[in-house]
Chain A
Amino acid sequence: MAAAAGCARRPAPAAGYRFLTQAEVETLGAWVDTLIPPDEDPGARDAGVVRYIDLQLTRWFRRHQSEYREALAHIDRWARSRAGRGFAGLPLDAREEMLSLMEQGEADRAWFPDGGKAAFELVLAHAMQGFYGNPRHGGNRGYASWKMIGVPPMPVRGREHYEAERTFPEKT
């Protein structure tokens, strides 16, 4: 019963997601795409960073669930109070300006009592992990970032063959 009650209180996740609602997916997508925007290479959203954070919010980041829920709601409301539109609907430069204020701890304290620094750093850290980490954790879709920086998914790594004398007798 308690579990069922717990489920009932939790907003329904977006289709294919485990924790984030559809609105949260869009806001977080805009947030991480502002941090790592797409150019000739995929940005954070296309590289699966939102999926990574969503997945980990049900696993290792479980303790950050309420922080995310709060931060995503507050940045959206802050955007509406500034520009009359949700954060996801803002152009890139407006989003950059807001995140810069958060980075400096100067966001509207009506929404972020600490000026937004903690939320900014939390999402930045997780976005970096999801973008540059191993795809097995849910992000870095198609090795997007590794391709971008020229790191092969599987580098060629040799080890001395202990039976080398059998293959290349002239080596021994």
Chain B
Amino acid sequence: MKAAAAALLLGLAVLLMIPAASFLYEAGGPDACARCHEMGAPVGEWRHSTHRGVPCSACHGDALTTNARFHLTNARRVVQHWRGEAGVRAQLGPAEIRAMLPRCQKCHQQEFASWSNGPHAIAYRSIFLDEKHNASRHLMDDCLRCHGMHFDGGVRDLVEPLSTKGPWRLRRAELLDDPAIPCMSCHSIHRRGALHEERRLEAKIAGPRQEKFRPSLAFFDRRSMAPVDLALLPMPAMSDGGRPVKMSPDPRQALCYQCHAPLSTRQVFSGDDRTPVGVHEGISCLGCHDKHRQTTRASCSNCHPRLSNCGRDVEQMDTTFANRSSKHNIHTVKCADCHPKGIPARRARSD
């Protein structure tokens, strides 16, 4: 009996050691976090980041976090650290990425709501258990480059069977409803920049001092296991047949091109490319697509009818904007598509 009680007490003590160690570790603040080699770089980046006003624990959890996996992961990291097996920097796995989403939402409610209602909030289930896709194409590790980029394994660790004959199932069932393209796919939380609070009065900031885009924009690279800054992402030089396509100078597009990418021929509409040609050539993706929802419904009126050659209601024209089955894709529509006999002379403006 005494032995059982002693064992129970010992077990409890061991269990409590993990949160107790967390308390001790966190008591020193960010400096305590940075004591470990693998935490030095992220903490250093955080000090200059847009999130430097947010304590580590707000995003990464603390001793009071009621998630056993969180504490076990930390315990595993401590063991790795002491055995000298820790990597260059601590990485977040899919479970930690999922846990961070409500923390993003807490401050970025509007952005979160827009993203949640858009195509980029698609779940692992919809991507990797898509019967139409899986029956016609083999799943491969490269799928994870754009979908589930934070997944800590290869595609064979995620889906089985890896063949065109189903039924398919996720080997990690807990990921079924997790977003495959979470906030951290396109945003680097530790990226250098102005505090969010300082932007509350951004309407009063003079134009030349305003941000062109959030400094957090970065694409999460699975190979590097790190976000790649927007400035380092290339913009492809696109061609339409032999003709070079006029590209928008908007640097934010480089993020879109990472996944909505052309094939190596760099031909427009090859692969998953959507570079506009025709009447919309030279317009940025974000000229029409809302950045988080990707919706386009209100975008036409940003430019039309003032920039319309014919002064017609462009939303009613025979394009895929008005009707998805139209043969005039909004990305490719040309004047000649509707004026096969020649383009009429521009009407004189009355204003």
Contacts and interface: CB of A to CB of B under 8 A. Distances in A.
B262 A136 contact: no
Interface in A49-73: 55, 58-59, 62
A157 B272 CA distance: 10
Given A135-B226, A170-B327, A159 B142 contact: yes
Interface stretch (A29-37, A87-95, A96-104, A161-169): A161-169
A134 B85 contact: no
B84 A59 contact: yes
B136 A162 contact: yes
B262 A158 contact: yes
A136 B88 contact: yes
Interface string A117-147: 0000000000000000011111000010001
Contacts of B327: 169-170
B232 A152 contact: yes
A142 B262 CA distance: 26
Contacts of A170: 327, 329, 332
B165 interface: no
A40 interface: no
B interface residue count range (under 10 / 10 to 19 / 20 to 34 / 35 or more):
35 or more
B269 A168 contact: yes
B281 interface: no
Given A152-B233, A168-B269, A169-B327, A136 B37 contact: no
A162 B133 CA distance: 7
Contact of A156 (B137, B142, B234): B234
B55 interface: no
A155 B228 CA distance: 11
Given A136-B226, A170-B327, A154 B269 contact: no
Given A134-B223, A136-B226, A168-B329, A159 B271 contact: yes
Interface residues of A, number: 30
A153 B221 contact: yes
Given A134-B223, A135-B224, A16 B234 contact: no
A138 B88 contact: yes
Contacts of A9: none
Contacts of B269: 168, 171
A156 to B, nearest CB: 5
A162 B228 CA distance: 27
B28 to A, nearest CB: 17
B40 A154 contact: no
A154 B219 contact: yes
B228 A153 contact: yes
B261 A154 contact: no
A77 interface: no
B325 A160 contact: no
B296 interface: no
A18 interface: yes
A18 B262 contact: no
Interface of B: 37, 40, 84-85, 87-88, 132-133, 136-137, 142, 145, 219, 221, 223-226, 228, 232-234, 236, 257-258, 261-264, 269-274, 325, 327, 329, 331-332
Given A158-B272, A170-B332, 4 more contacts: A55-B88, A153-B221, A160-B272, A167-B329
7 contacts: A134-B223, A136-B87, A154-B233, A156-B236, A158-B263, A158-B273, A162-B132
